[in-house]
Amino acid sequence: MFPFCFEWVWDMGHLVFHGGLWYALSIIGMGMTYCIIKAVIDTRRGGSSHH
């Protein structure tokens, strides 16, 4: 998982795998952060945005 493991050898597979993984994780993370922050702001403004 991490380069400090004793048997670690960098190769193409790591770049592709970690590229895909962190891409997906960051989109999920940023998406949820956006939703939560926006919900906090909306709530502070006192409004409840109806569908």
- Residue 34 DSSP label: H
Burial 4-36 (b: 16+ CB within 10 A, else e): eeeeeeeeeeeeeeeeeeeeeeeeeeeeeeeee
Q: Which residues bind other proteins (CB under 8 A)?
A: 1-2, 5, 7, 13-14, 17-18, 20-21, 24-25, 27-28, 31-32, 34-36, 38-40, 42-43, 48-51
Q: How far is the CB of 29 from other proteins (least distance, A)?
A: 9
Q: How far is the CB of 41 from other proteins (least distance, A)?
A: 9
Q: How far is the CB of 35 from other proteins (least distance, A)?
A: 4
